[in-house]
Structure 1
């Protein structure tokens, strides 16, 4: 009998690129709406066979089964036995498929395929974990005429094809015939009559018939077992005494005078504990409308409460604290009677983060809310501190997160790293990958942490299936840990179910059944903190310590919605200021209640916008679908409401300040109006302010009320601009507006040799007539040049990068980038304002293949330089990105250091970054800076949070940032993602920047003052305005005294400053932030108010030690780079 191939599809070479859709899996439904039907001899693999076979777990393919049919004719049924073989490039790494093969509806078999490599294989076949499936079947299942083999993924996610083949003419022996015999010791242990036994796994192919064999292991013990072998693949276990050292062992099988044997290496194994902390991943949208997602998680919580009543061994975790708040809002009675008691008992875990945040987008005060809301809820449930926190489906987080967690009472942190668009573990220290470690933040705070490479481990380990299915998943999973220097005997299986999936409570029973069968690996059903407590108790001293920042891989997606992102940044600063003034005003005006509910709701809008889910799974593949449009409208509404609520609170705060200023007053001169300027920051500062004139036909002047000194002013139509100098910290200064001629003053700017060169305010500027960028900038008596023209760019030069589809600009494993860079080549310039306080130049820039741009260049009297850019952009689905270049020239280029501001922290790029952290881009709260020790350049980026160093993003995905060259790029928009984020954006996009160029080394306090002030003065992205000045309050009476601080902090070198100020219960909470690296003693003093008690507290307001009060105020030690909270009453 001759063995023949009836047909073959593809080539078994580990590459799927001969098949349709290669690398473009999200287009499956569009190209194969009726699924795959392939006719042997007629169809073309490149057009008719999809490289990917989706499963019901794949949202992008409709969350359903997809039968693939292979049709082939036979003139006669072949002799002998047939063999069907599947060569696969990869299977899904966490939800592997259950594959059914059906032959002519006469015969079917199912195979649970092993877990494969990660998502990188979707675009790079080399990243896959190859697998071959082969089985025999009888010729009786074939027929003359047309035959159909149907492949269907019944459960789980995708598989990737390499080749498929059907052979005939094989000979089947009449007795068992053993081939491919292998044996290995395993991590499975069973207790037999009180003795612990180790399991040896035997695998073989029986190419003969069913029959019985005697099986045993020589070299340890003497027992044998009778095993019945079925045709095809067989797997079974033999039990031996536990091995204490590696040794050679011999497996034998005997039957009817025949023997098969093989030698293998016997290995001792750890007796593992697998801690499973089940939860359902919380995407606010993505899989479905946000409203339905909220309903799903409430349903999960209801079910968890019910199953807790029915099964005393059941446990569940609320992945984020918001799930508990959501449930309390919908079911207050059930919350009190069911959920809160289960949380207290440790049956349902409450986690320390409010939502799954993009931490690089958060402000310091926003992060305080993110980490303290769970603590507040816990107190209401009669609990102590919530000690564990999750961050799911986000690759990395910022280096100040440990500080926030530790100061909120959180000791443990687990992050489920999504490697999509984030090659974290490609560059990370191996001890960081799925292994517990101590994570030390920039300030030295520590949390016990773990980074896992996935979530949804109830699904991944098949814990709702059969014990055989669990076994098939758990042993390869544990082998990843056994093969390296893992520090303990416990592993952490993060989460239960994937994106917004329903809770399936069967896992509790399956885990109980598993633990009845096997002593080890023991599966421990737990809350998140239980795993960490176990590790901390037994292994804490063995764990490595990693200090620093992991970066912001996914925050680049926020640039797909530049307008809304800028609007939320604007709202945060307004909200923080309003909250501070309302809290302080409440001390002096107790009749005006502190609007804690309104403030909470405003922060809610901010937090939900910075949460990691931006839109629908099909946001890029189907940008016009109902899912995409509805989910984006829901998301964008957070930004709009955040701005509206912040504005409302700001107006209320301004009214309270007016009332506060009138509590102690004197009469002003009869002809004068009183103007009051408030300073929200804790340092003296000059504030550009303006007032609206009651009579614009008359001359007006401004006088400092305290000294009577006339100030320089500048008319702007019916408004008068003036500089309020040295306004007291967290306080006010009063001025007198009166009729009369102001002091004479010269225009700030004068023209140089041509219209492109300007001088004034200690600056000499030259613009490029084509790009409109600043190509020369000299400042001060030294005449130092600040522009590095050798870079090829000027300051504030706009770069439009077009292209990149299917390249490394989208994903690390795709092809080399292909793109074009465009910049403006026509510019015009005109003077629109030139007074004694500020001058404004208006540049109009245009060019081919990029959006036109209006730029207002503002020069202030103190030499500060601002750019207000309004980009008039059309929406496009083509891959694109936009940047503004700022190439600075330094005297010592080999020693340049770069800095960005994080939430309550400053990161030195590269030097303080952990391996595996993102170097492609950075986020900044307010500023980026470069310094060579002799000179420092500060760039404030109030509207756009993203920056890159050295060059714009070119898809390098590097593990280390090369030496800095002095250039920083504001990364203002992109649409490089192919899911979640927005596919296109258009309209008038506002991007403001400000420069502060100084002699001397980088000073964190100076940089923070500059950045925070620019945030406070940023232009409203809905109503852009150049030369932004604060609208001052006009009132009838003069405050007494005319200038005063309500709150003042002093420290050596001025490194300590006030962060947030708020009210909680009957206490005033004040956060002090030390920007310096050393512990500093700071003094806090009050103007009109004398506290009767001062306590140090954590971020959640839990009171700690008493602080002595004295006439000069309160003294407190603030550790370097840390925030300390004081509670006063």
Structure 2
């Protein structure tokens, strides 16, 4: 129990990139607001009263944009006001959702180095508002960036906080690093900013004081109250409210502070007590919104993979250092003019901007797409309003622009690498592998002349395979309900349009749970039961909330249509295709592919969806026959065990994953991957349960493709044509985190294939080992004319590991360790010019720089 001696008032705006206005209007205003905050802070710089104007910049992106455009005098003014504790700068780039990928998450912390080194601003704190969770990998990234404190002004709508608000605890990362977390009240608590009065404060603060006095887990003698609203322009309302509170003799007194002052006090008093330490994922209750725009979410995830392939190809081309060789152009050049086209080859000189600038712009668009503001505040209640349409057009534009830029970068980079390879006499299939491990993969090339699909084996790591073009041998299609190879026997029921038997021939195990709502790859449509009197149906979807469990859903599995499944055979693979339909899904087409010599199954689902503005959901179900299983989920920068390595009271009903899940009962296991769709429900249908713990009875994975269970921000309905891809493999025994990460990465980061006149063969320059060490990204030295490349390496097995980098081409290289945030560190790695070794800690993320000697 503690006696509260003062209330610290922290004034800022909550940065929604939209919601109250269009994203472009908000971005412009946020940058301009930096200048206004400087003006107000300067006007009050001689006011030493406890209620003098002070302001905190909640995120760093507007500050960076302002500083990059500001004259030197304005930069100096900001620096002086920060030094005087009149203004404070924080380190969170934007308020990110759990869509953010491994490399984007790291990129979001790159500005910390710029803020400190270029502008001399101390940054030690990350502040977030509204969002209800963060990937577990956030902790080691913050620790590596020198950010020791996380402030979460969590929004309890649609979810729960892991501890009572306010609270403090240490959040421990998968690598053992820690950050101090201040879990605060919602940023709009007491309405000090909106009203500029104390009417609301008089009402809500006394009960909070009484509750705090009862608590034995709150060892602090202060409270922190945010004075903020969505996209609020800086002004003196919070100052006036705090002054009025003090003048009228309300207790305890209020003091206006920056976040630096507030967190200094938190750290000081936290050091005197033993705070809770928690490990695991902070799974986000609001992640269900990722299912509001399935097509665009898939586009964003594809952009991420294309950026990775582009950076890899460009970097490898740079370090290979061979001059382009003259040879015939691509296929179908002849009399055809060089046309700029989506499917055509890149045209040299058609793009402006330096490579690094284009990459930076693509990542920035991707972060703006993955940021938490999806739509207008009235997107659900007024789905046809002008602002709803204008807002969504701009928001979706971030994802589409990131994708378009990434695709052009990929084409340019891959073509540049191909141009450095020996010329061939005939067009050939050229396949670039962006991963640091050997692999087999089915690749597809789409050009103006058609589509070519081939199974390519033994692709070299970070290398190229060139194979001659030839016509595939195939058999005429035939009707069949069974498909099998030496690993699996798969049986499809035409009536239920799903896999009703999947037998692993190596173990004899049947993997389909016969008691499920549908078989593997079955499509299930759900709608809130109109006969249910739940308030989420009868009043407002705001009542889709833990305080009101439910509502009840009616679920219907798709049924088969047409003449039944069709079996097609091609080189190295067999494919079974069938069609079905369900409510609001007039066409469901499912394709399952087995490979002659590869133990995995590919499943592709095409949907034609009609819009429905009632509460709905769409699933592809994978009811694996496992009892009391353990689920291992790939999240941003980590793999965690659902319900075990997870903060208390965070979301168990659904999870947003990167690309992979491993599930095991200890005796058998399955690795499962998803490309476009991140949302899953585990162990059964769980929407509306609002479970406080996760104790699954079955090993079911339900890919939750679409839903609209929210009351604001997200799209009210969605329709159109959609493609979703999945992959699975089964094995005896358990699951390890390294296998999960590798499985997801291999499925997400597809090889890139082109048709060009290149001599057949394998081109392989660099090896990285062991397999538990992966290259998260391979990229040219950022923003530099240096001819070196940077490789970010991730240890994935949770063990101290000796990593090896081996040069396979002619000549020798130099290897040095460098900072993961783009900072230059002169730390040579010992080696003989061909092979280099260095140590990685468990789950370590390290950066190395490679140059040719």
1:581 offset after TM fit, Å? 2.2
Mapped pair 1:357 → 2:96: yes
Aligned residue number for residue 581 of structure 1: 313
1:935-990 deviation line (CA, Å, top 9, x unaligned): 21122111100001111233110100113411110000001111111101001122
Q: Answer whether contact 1:807 1:818 (CA < 8 A) is retained.
A: no
Aligned partner (choices 377, 381, 401) of residue 641 of structure 1: 401
Aligned residue number for residue 257 of structure 2: 526
Task: Give the TM-score taking structure 2 as reference length.
Answer: 0.87
Give the distance between the partners of 2:5 and 2:812, measured in 1 at CA: 59
- Higher Rg of the two aligned structures: 1
1:899 offset after TM fit, Å? 1.3
1:694-1093 matches, within 5 Å, as 721-737=453-469, 755-803=480-528, 806=534, 810-814=544-548, 816-828=550-562, 829-831=564-566, 833-847=568-582, 850-861=585-596, 862-890=598-626, 893-894=627-628, 896-1017=629-750, 1030-1037=752-759, 1042-1051=761-770, 1054-1062=771-779, 1063-1064=781-782, 1065=784, 1066=786, 1068-1088=789-809, 1090-1092=812-814
Aligned residue number for residue 121 of structure 2: 383
Which deviates further from its counterpart, 450-459 or 299-308? 450-459
Structure-2 change in CA distance of 1:305 and 1:509 (3 Å): same
1:347 offset after TM fit, Å? 2.9
Mapped pair 1:438 → 2:160: no
Higher RCO structure, 1 or 2 (CA under 8 Å, sep 6+): 2
Which deviates further from its counterpart, 935-944 or 1005-1014? 1005-1014
Aligned residue number for residue 397 of structure 1: 134
1:106-126 deviation line (CA, Å, top 9, x unaligned): xxxxxxxxxxxxxxxxxxxxx
1:329 offset after TM fit, Å? 5.9
1:330-376 deviation line (CA, Å, top 9, x unaligned): 65566434334434554322211111111x21110010112222432
1:284 offset after TM fit, Å? 1.1
Mapped pair 1:413 → 2:138: no
1:244-259 matches, within 5 Å, as none
The SS at the match of 1:580 is helix
Q: Answer whether contact 1:1044 1:1087 (CA < 8 A) is retained.
A: no
Q: Answer whether contact 1:278 1:456 (CA < 8 A) is retained.
A: no
Give the distance between the partners of 2:772 and 2:16, measured in 1 at CA: 39
Q: Answer whether contact 1:285 1:615 (CA < 8 A) is retained.
A: yes
* CA RMSD of superposed structures (Å): 3.2
Aligned residue number for residue 171 of structure 1: none
Give the distance between the partners of 1:434 and 1:1104, measured in 2 at CA: 43
1:1030 offset after TM fit, Å? 4.9
1:614 offset after TM fit, Å? 0.8
Query: Which structure 1 segments of 5+ residues have no match?
Result: 1-267, 695-716, 1018-1028
The SS at the match of 1:1103 is coil
Structure-2 change in CA distance of 1:1033 and 1:1047 (3 Å): farther
Which deviates further from its counterpart, 371-380 or 314-323? 371-380
Give the distance between the partners of 1:379 and 1:590, measured in 2 at CA: 36
Give the distance between the partners of 1:871 and 1:1030, measured in 2 at CA: 26
1:1015 offset after TM fit, Å? 1.2
1:629 offset after TM fit, Å? 1.1
Mapped pair 1:652 → 2:408: no
1:830 offset after TM fit, Å? 4.2
The SS at the match of 1:436 is strand
Aligned residue number for residue 179 of structure 1: none
1:1111 offset after TM fit, Å? 3.4
Aligned residue number for residue 334 of structure 2: none
The SS at the match of 2:3 is coil
Aligned residue number for residue 299 of structure 2: 567
Mapped pair 1:679 → 2:401: no
1:106-125 matches, within 5 Å, as none
Aligned partner (choices 540, 543, 552) of residue 271 of structure 2: 540
1:367-403 deviation line (CA, Å, top 9, x unaligned): 011222243233220235x210011111222222111
Give the distance between the partners of 1:334 and 1:796, measured in 2 at CA: 62
Give the distance between the partners of 1:344 and 1:995, measured in 2 at CA: 55
Structure-2 change in CA distance of 1:1095 and 1:345 (3 Å): farther
Aligned residue number for residue 597 of structure 1: 357
The SS at the match of 1:304 is helix
Q: Answer whether contact 2:129 2:187 (CA < 8 A) is retained.
A: yes
1:1057 offset after TM fit, Å? 0.9
Aligned residue number for residue 81 of structure 2: 342
1:453 offset after TM fit, Å? 2.9
Give the distance between the partners of 2:832 and 2:136, measured in 1 at CA: 36
- Tell me the number of residue pairs that the alignment of Structure 1 and Structure 2 aligns: 800
Aligned residue number for residue 39 of structure 2: 306
1:1116 offset after TM fit, Å? 2.6
Q: Answer whether contact 2:12 2:57 (CA < 8 A) is retained.
A: yes
Task: Give the TM-score taking structure 1 as reference length.
Answer: 0.66
Structure-2 change in CA distance of 1:269 and 1:923 (3 Å): closer
1:471 offset after TM fit, Å? 6.4
The SS at the match of 1:817 is coil
Give the distance between the partners of 2:31 and 2:611, measured in 1 at CA: 37
The SS at the match of 1:647 is helix
